[in-house]
Structures are given as structure tokens and as C-alpha cells.
Amino acid sequence: MVINPDPPKKAMVVFAHPDDPDFSVAGTVAVWTQAGSEVVYVLCTSGNVGSHEPGMTRERIAALREVEQRAAAAAVGVKEVIFLHHDDGTLQPTLELRRELVREMRRFRPNVLVCGDPVAFLYGDSYINHPDHRAAAQAALEAVFPAVSMPLVFPDLLQEGFEPHRVNEVWVTDSTTTNTYVDISQVVDRKIAALRCHTSQMENWDPTEMVKKWATETGQEVGLPMAEGYRRMILAREEPPTVEASNESPG
Ligand SMILES: [Zn+2]
């Protein structure tokens, strides 16, 4: 069990929808950016079906939700948000999505990749995980291993100048096997402020009580006042293997 490991130099956070990072990891992101980490968000969709308002169009709700997500990101110190503009509700972990994520990882070159849990299907006795969440998580992990580090996968990316890169660590949120906790008690108000930016989704709902309840429950697992938990995986040696050393194919 690890509590508050050193913040990464650069972290990339990949999720399906605007508001996903804010429900799950925005506290950790606030801690990291406050410590000087550079963090970017990659959203696979712009949430273009996320409205029940009569007369709303997919284009208008997507544009609105992008504005909301950029504000939410700014509230926790994230300077860049990338939208891949897949359709909300029908996201699939395709090779196209994997390639797009490899391109963003090779461009930004994160040390840590943060994403959801692709095998988390059922939570408790009342929540089925959104299929888009699983798809985004699967695509992100399939981009991390092994595609992002292999020059001959997606050779067109190499031709465009996106050099291979190794991601050192993966942090999976909402996992059933949590091994790492980040104390968010000093930044919980910033997490709540980020969530409040999603006005098209929240309407008059105040997330304060729920956020504090979740964070308190997670913190209690390890004696912290409020925390976010992860399954942290340390993947990569710092240096890529030489040609001579790479007889073993990663399969
Ligand atoms: Zn979502």
C-alpha cells in the first residue's frame, strides 16, 4: 500500500466524457498541479448526447460541454484539454482510437497515464459502468502497452514525427484492487469547484456532500481524512531496451 507517491513530472488523463475526470481523479490532479506537475486531459467524446432538453442538438451540447470541461480543468490546474470527438454513447476501443491516443501520448510524452478500469462492469448493487468508460480505459491501456513504444506500430505516426515513448506508470481509478492512495483533503473544494463547472449535467444538484462522502470512505481504508484510490502499475524501465536486449517479443 502506497500513500501520496511523488507527483509525476507529466501526467495524461484519458476518459470517455466531459465530467469523468472530475468525478474520479480531479482531487489527485489538483494535488499534482499544485506540486508543479504538468497534466493534460484527453476526452474521447465531447458528451454529445448528454442532454434531455427539448430541441437540443448534438453539436450544441458538445460545444457547451467542451467549454464546461475546459473550465473544470482550469479549476484544478490543467492547462490543456484535448477532445477526440467520438460520439458519446457508442464509443468502442477501436484501432482508430488507439492510434489517436498513441499520437497524443507520443506528442505529450507523459510519465504517468491515468484512466478508468476497463474490466469494471458492475459496481455494488445499483450501478452498471457506462460502456464508454470501459471502452476509453481499454483503448488507453492498449495504447500504453505496447503501441506507444513500438516504432513499427502505426508507422504513419512515425513518419509524421511522433517518436516512440515509454509511459512509466499507469494509474487505474475505480479499480477493485486499490494499492495507492492520494490525500485530497486539502484540495477537495477544488474538486467540487471543478464538478460545478458541468452545469449542463448538474443542473441544481450540489455535488459537495457526495464528493466528501466518497473521499471520506476511500480515505478510511488507509486512515486518511479524504482520498482518491488507484491501482497503480509501474511498467517501464526508464530506458528503452537496446536492439540486442530485445530478443523477447512483448507478444
Ligand atoms: Zn462518463
Write down the architecture of domain 2-234 according to CATH. 3-Layer(aba) Sandwich (3.40)
Question: Cα of 246 to ligand 1 centre, how many Å?
Answer: 39
pLDDT for 238: 57
**Could you give phi then psi for residue 60, rounded to 5 degrees?**
-70, -40
Rounded CA-CA distance 127/167 in Å is 31
Question: Cα of 250 to ligand 1 centre, how many Å?
Answer: 32
Question: Cα of 231 to ligand 1 centre, how many Å?
Answer: 19
Rounded CA-CA distance 208/192 in Å is 6
Rounded CA-CA distance 104/163 in Å is 11
- Residues of the chain below pLDDT 50: 245-248
pTM metric for this prediction: 0.93
Q: In which residue are the cell numbers 502506497 written?
A: 2
Rounded CA-CA distance 79/59 in Å is 24
Q: Is the distance from CB of 67 to CB of 199 less than 8 angstroms?
A: no
Question: Cα of 68 to ligand 1 centre, how many Å?
Answer: 14
Beta bridge partners of 11: 39, 112
The proportion of the chain whose per-residue pLDDT surpasses 70, expressed as a percent, equals 94
Ligand 1 being an ion, which residues bring their Cβ within 5 A of it? 17, 20
Domain boundaries, the chain: 2-234
pLDDT tens-digit series, residues 104-156: 999 999 999 999 999 999 988 999 999 999 999 999 999 999 999 999 999 99
